[in-house]
Amino acid sequence: HVNDTQEALEAIFLEQGITWKPRAFTNFCISKDIHIADPV
């Protein structure tokens, strides 16, 4: 489920001390070469 993935990544962000922001999330995915499916 998309929300579950987001919550898991939010936890990672919190552990890393990174504030959760859509742009930061996008940059994080790009930097980690993570491909998130576009929401329908």
Domain assignment present for 36: no
- pLDDT, residue 4, reads 82
Domain with 22, as residue range(s), is: 2-31
What confidence tens digit (pLDDT) does each residue in 7-40 have?
A: 887 788 778 766 666 677 777 777 776 666 555 5
φ/ψ of 36, rounded to 5, equals -100, 130
Q: Which residues are CB-neighbours of 29 under 8 A, at least 6 positions away? A: 35, 36
Measured CA to CA in angstroms, residue 6 lies from 18, 28, 30, 39 at distances of: 14, 12, 15, 12
> Model-level pTM?
0.36
- pLDDT, residue 35, reads 61
Number of domains forming the structure of the chain: 1
Domain assignment present for 24: yes
What's the CA gap between 29 and 36, in Å, rounded? 8
Alpha helices (runs of H) in 1-40, residue ranges in sequence order:
2-16, 22-31
Domain assignment present for 23: yes
Domain assignment present for 40: no
